[in-house]
Amino acid sequence: MSKKTVLFACGTGIATSTVVANAVTEAMKERGIAIDARQCKATEVRSELNGVDLIVSTTQLPADLGVPSIVTLAFLTGMGKDEALDKIEAELRG
């Protein structure tokens, strides 16, 4: 499977999205999926969508982005982490 581009978003584009990007990139590697991780502010996702396969955000995203997206705190709180990873894997393999 070719490398997938995932856009990680949070309020500042530098804080929680970095934690999530590291956690997801690592976990997907173990599942055999290479990720090209990008980051941005949630308010700026619309201008960062070129080539993006999936958006993972810790905060609300604008509506109608036309790209699959997952909003989750699982990688910060630890709650529901496996389910979130399963969902991300399914999106990337889909």
Contacts with other proteins by CB under 8 A lie at: 10-12, 14-16, 18-19, 22, 42, 58-60, 71-73, 75-79
CB of 18 to other proteins, least distance (A): 5
Residue closer to other proteins, measured from CB, 83 or 93 = 83
- Separation of alpha carbons 64 and 78, rounded Å: 28
Hunting for tokens 């201008």 — which residue is that? Answer: 47
What region, left, alpha or beta, does residue 11 occupy, with left being phi > 0 and alpha being psi -120 to 50 degrees?
alpha
Residue closer to other proteins, measured from CB, 15 or 90 = 15
